[in-house]
Structure 1
Amino acid sequence: MHAAVVTRFGDPEVFELTELPDPVPGPGQVAIDVSHAAVGLIDVYLRQGLYQDHPGLPLPPYVPGLEVAGTIRALGAGVPDFRVGEPVVTLSGTGAEGGYASIAVVDAAMTASLEGTGVDPALAVAAVPNAATAFLALTEVAHLRSGERVLVHGALGGLASAFPGVARTLGAAGVVGTVRRTSLADARASTLPYDEIIAADDLIGSLGDRRFDVVVDPVGGQLRTDSLQVMAPMGRMLLVGNASGDWDHTVPSNTLWGGNLAMLGFAAGYYLPTHPERARPAAEAALGAAAQGLIDIPVHSLPLAEAAEAHRRVENGAVNGRILLEP
Structure 2
Amino acid sequence: MRAIRLHAFGPAENLAYEEVEAPLPGPGQVRIAVEAAGVHLLDTALREGERGPLPEPPVLPTVPGREVAGTVESLGADVAGRWLGRRVVAHLGTVPGGYAELAVTDLGRVHEIPPNLDAAQAVAMIGTGRTALGILQFAELGPDSVAVIPAAAGGIGTLLVQYARNAGATVVGLAGGPAKTALVEAAGADLAVDYKDPAWPDKVRAHLGGRCATVVFDGVGGAVAREAVALLGPGGRHLVFGWSAEGVRGGRGHFVEGVSESVLGPVMLRKAGGPDPLRTLESRALTEAAEGRLTPAVQRFPLAEAAAAHRALENRGTTGKVVLEP
TM-score for both structures, normalised by structure 1: 0.83
How far, CA to CA, are the matches of 2:211 and 2:2 in structure 1? Answer: 52
Offset, 1:135: 0.7
Letter in 2 for 1:162: L
1:156 to 153, 156, 165: 153
Aligned to 1:60: 60
How far, CA to CA, are the matches of 1:186 and 1:37 in structure 2? Answer: 23
Aligned to 2:192: 197
Residues 75 and 81 in structure 2, CA contact (< 8 A), matched pair in contact too: no
Letter in 1 for 2:188: P
Verify: 1:176 aligned to 2:172, yes or no: yes
Structure 2 residues not aligned, in runs of 5+: none
2:135 to 131, 134, 137: 137
How far, CA to CA, are the matches of 1:54 and 1:133 in structure 2? Answer: 17
What CA RMSD, in Å, does the superposition of the two structures yield over aligned residues? 3.2
Cα distance change of structure 1 residues 77 and 264 upon mapping to structure 2, 3 Å threshold: farther
Cα distance change of structure 1 residues 244 and 275 upon mapping to structure 2, 3 Å threshold: farther
Q: Does 122-131 or 9-18 show the bigger shift?
A: 122-131
The alignment partner of 1:73 has SS state of strand
Offset, 1:31: 2.3
Matches within 5 A, 1:278-293: 278-291=277-290, 292=292
Residues 234 and 259 in structure 1, CA contact (< 8 A), matched pair in contact too: yes
Aligned residue pairs total 316
How far, CA to CA, are the matches of 2:267 and 2:88 in structure 1? Answer: 19
Q: Deviations over 1:5-46 (max 9, x none)?
A: 111111111112233333233455432111111222111121
Q: Does 190-199 or 73-82 show the bigger shift?
A: 73-82
Matches within 5 A, 1:21-32: 21-32=21-32
Q: Deviations over 1:62-98 (max 9, x none)?
A: 111121110123445666697111111224x622621
Matches within 5 A, 1:1-327: 1-51=1-51, 55-76=55-76, 83-91=83-91, 94-95=93-94, 97-116=96-115, 118-139=116-137, 142-147=138-143, 148-169=145-166, 171-180=167-176, 183-190=177-184, 191-200=186-195, 201-208=198-205, 209-246=210-247, 249-252=250-253, 255=255, 258-266=257-265, 277-291=276-290, 292=292, 294-302=294-302, 304-327=303-326
Letter in 2 for 1:67: E
Cα distance change of structure 1 residues 172 and 28 upon mapping to structure 2, 3 Å threshold: farther
Offset, 1:312: 1.7
How far, CA to CA, are the matches of 2:244 and 2:47 in structure 1? Answer: 15
Percentage of matched positions with identical amino acids: 32
Offset, 1:315: 1.9
Structure 1 residues not aligned, in runs of 5+: none
Residues 218 and 240 in structure 2, CA contact (< 8 A), matched pair in contact too: yes
Q: Does 187-196 or 47-56 show the bigger shift?
A: 47-56
Offset, 1:247: 6.3
Cα distance change of structure 1 residues 203 and 261 upon mapping to structure 2, 3 Å threshold: farther
How far, CA to CA, are the matches of 1:189 and 1:95 in structure 2? Answer: 32
Offset, 1:126: 3.3
Residues 72 and 88 in structure 2, CA contact (< 8 A), matched pair in contact too: yes
Residues 12 and 307 in structure 2, CA contact (< 8 A), matched pair in contact too: yes
Cα distance change of structure 1 residues 26 and 211 upon mapping to structure 2, 3 Å threshold: farther
Offset, 1:326: 2.0
TM-score for both structures, normalised by structure 2: 0.83
